[in-house]
Chain A
Amino acid sequence: MSAKKKDKSSAETMVKKEREVSKAKLIPVHIMGKRYDVPEGLTLMKAMEYAGYKFIRGCGCRGGTCGACGTVYRKPGDYRLQVALACQKTIEPDMHITQIPFFPANRAHYEFADLTSAPEEVFKLYPELFRCVACNACTKACPQGIEVMDAVSALKQGNITVAAQIGFECIQCGLCTSRCFGELVQYHMFQLARRIYGARITPRAEHLIEMTKAIDEGRFDNTLEKLRHMSEEELKELYRKREEEPVTAGEDWRPKDKTYL
């Protein structure tokens, strides 16, 4: 038997084994219009991989947080297009699935240092904001369940804070934008709103500024120097004897040794 043949047959055995082991019932799904029978219980992403697709894009964390695997699907008998992250949603019989891992959306270029907290900053960079007619297709297309249109409304009302807060859990999958017939770019606008909110609207943490200044001025230099010259044993000992903050500690918890506070 040639090496090649051997490879092929061993691969076949593997697949066979996998199917036997899983013993799962096969259900039909339609991936980009073609039918495949795949074991039930798989995620959309696993089902696509089972059917032979190999992801070099459109797949990231596999944990529902990176936004790379935005997918649209339709269930039989339902006129509504539905959305999911392929790594999160489980397949259902006769689903039609297509991934939209990337959407070529307009993205404004700006020098963030030049931006203020004025609502007009968003208006100028994304003037298409005012093409919104409140159709709400964006909200329906959000796999995160964000009230996308409400955040768009907040931007139109000049309320960057509310837009940043509503859009906080946006994972930039771009499905909202893919469905918007006003051709707004909700997810990039929200990112801008979050940046402006974080850098220009939320109050500065004064104590942090003071502390970093103190560090710059050498407050911990001696301590660090001491650590650098300790032996491995001494360091281990120090680590073993460290005082840990209890998980249940309240805000007023303080360590017994206050040397470094």
Chain B
Amino acid sequence: MRLAYYPGCTLKTKARNLEEPAIASLEALGFELEEIPRWNCCGAVHSLADDDLIHQVAPVRNLIRVKEQGKDAVVTLCSFCFNTLKRANLLMKDDAEKRDTLNSFMDEEIDYSGEVRVLHLLEVLRDEIGWEALAQEVKFPLRNLKLAPYYGCTLLRPREVAIDSVENPTILREFLKALGATPVEFPESTRCCGSYQIVSSPDSISGYAWDILSSALSHGAEALVLTCPLCDYDLGQGQKELVKRHNGFKGMPLFYFTQLLALALGLDPQVCHFELNHGSPESLLRENGLLP
């Protein structure tokens, strides 16, 4: 099965460790990710100002590319891109006046009215493959790995775009169970990492990061599982400082969910690009016999 795929800019540079294991894993599962032609930046952040239509142009243009390709759904891996695209899609579907304005602004493109479905890869795994079938494809179960699922915001909020229950999501837990790992629930799993506040107030981010990491740690997690390059940045880049500041904290490895998928499916660990991860997740994997 071929799926229209929207990668997003970060996945082509800093987060190749999110993209490459996903492409390899899906191929192993019999799916082909077909990158949409001529895509542009998703817009990065959904603009909350009601009349700020210019910031909807970028995500809508990508959805037009999917429609042009003759596809009715597009898959994303980055949860920020997912959020921006899906919210723009809702606007085009539900708000006739803004839809007309945007369509007439983009007079060089075909008209669009929200025909494409925006999916996150986790939904594809859950709905197209299913957890049981996925479990059967697992060659190297991630046994003994205690992993805390961290959703952040953009997969679950606002409610209209959520891929799972906003209050009590289970999709990452089920995913990790299918891979044979031990999911560790913790109360901060849907808390915001601080997002782009990292630019204007890095100090508050280090506070958020500590709350999230220490909570996962105290519930017995050995590592955090992420879906978003910005979460990865906010929770990863300041860990050295946190190690200095908090006695006994040795840092916590961060994984993209796609890296764990590729590992469990028995793919060459090279596709995971662990060298791009913050900290050193490899030592945890070696201790558990998951890397040579």
Does chain B have a CB within 8 A of A156? yes
Contact of A153 with B39 in the complex, beta carbons under 8 Å: yes
Interchain CA distance A139-B61 in the complex, whole Å: 14
Interchain CA distance A58-B106 in the complex, whole Å: 31
Does chain B have a CB within 8 A of A158? yes
Contact of A134 with B61 in the complex, beta carbons under 8 Å: yes
Does chain B have a CB within 8 A of A157? yes
Chain B 102-118 interface 0/1 with A at a Cβ cutoff of 8 Å (1 = within): 00011110000000000
Contact of A134 with B58 in the complex, beta carbons under 8 Å: yes
Contacts of A158 in B (CB 8 A): 9, 12-13
Chain B 18-60 interface 0/1 with A at a Cβ cutoff of 8 Å (1 = within): 0000000000000000000011110100000000001101100
Interchain CA distance A119-B9 in the complex, whole Å: 12
Does chain B have a CB within 8 A of A180? no
Interchain CA distance A134-B61 in the complex, whole Å: 8
Contact of A133 with B57 in the complex, beta carbons under 8 Å: yes
Q: Which of B39, B40, B106 has the most CB of A within 10 A?
A: B40
Contact of B106 with A136 in the complex, beta carbons under 8 Å: yes
Contacts of B108 in A (CB 8 A): 136, 139-140
Chain B 81-106 interface 0/1 with A at a Cβ cutoff of 8 Å (1 = within): 00000000000000000000000011
**Who on chain B is nearest to A155 by CB?**
B9
Contact of A159 with B12 in the complex, beta carbons under 8 Å: yes
Q: B12 contacts which of A133, A136, A139, A157 (Cβ < 8 Å)? A: A157
Contacts of A119 in B (CB 8 A): 13
Chain A 136-153 interface 0/1 with B at a Cβ cutoff of 8 Å (1 = within): 100110000001011011
Q: How many residues of B contact A (CB 8 A)?
A: 17
Does chain B have a CB within 8 A of A238? no
**Who on chain B is nearest to A123 by CB?**
B13
Does chain B have a CB within 8 A of A51? no
Contact of B61 with A136 in the complex, beta carbons under 8 Å: yes
Q: How many A-B residue pairs have CB under 8 A?
A: 44
**Who on chain A is nearest to B109 by CB?**
A136
Contact of A135 with B9 in the complex, beta carbons under 8 Å: no
Contacts of A152 in B (CB 8 A): 40
In the assembled complex, how far is the CB of residue B92 from the closest CB belonging to chain A, in whole angstroms?
A: 15
Contacts of B43 in A (CB 8 A): 133-134
In the assembled complex, how far is the CB of residue A163 from the closest CB belonging to chain B, in whole angstroms?
A: 12
Contact of A133 with B54 in the complex, beta carbons under 8 Å: yes
Interchain CA distance A153-B108 in the complex, whole Å: 17
**Who on chain A is nearest to B61 by CB?**
A134
Interchain CA distance A152-B41 in the complex, whole Å: 10
**Who on chain B is nearest to A147 by CB?**
B38
Chain A 7-44 interface 0/1 with B at a Cβ cutoff of 8 Å (1 = within): 00000000000000000000000000000000000000
Q: A135 contacts which of B12, B13, B57 (Cβ < 8 Å)? A: B57
Interchain CA distance A156-B9 in the complex, whole Å: 6
Contacts of A147 in B (CB 8 A): 38
Q: A156-B9, A158-B12 are in contact. Are A134 and B38 (CB under 8 A)?
A: no
Chain A 45-83 interface 0/1 with B at a Cβ cutoff of 8 Å (1 = within): 000000000000000000000000000000000001000
Known: A132-B41, A150-B40, A157-B9. 14 other contacts (CB 8 A): A132-B40, A133-B43, A133-B55, A134-B40, A134-B58, A135-B54, A140-B108, A149-B40, A152-B40, A153-B39, A153-B41, A156-B9, A157-B12, A158-B13
Instruction: Supply 25 A–B pairs (Cβ within 8 Å), ascending by A.
Output: A119-B13, A132-B40, A132-B41, A132-B58, A133-B54, A133-B55, A133-B58, A134-B41, A134-B43, A134-B58, A135-B54, A135-B105, A136-B106, A136-B108, A140-B108, A149-B40, A150-B40, A153-B39, A153-B40, A153-B41, A156-B41, A157-B9, A157-B12, A157-B13, A158-B13
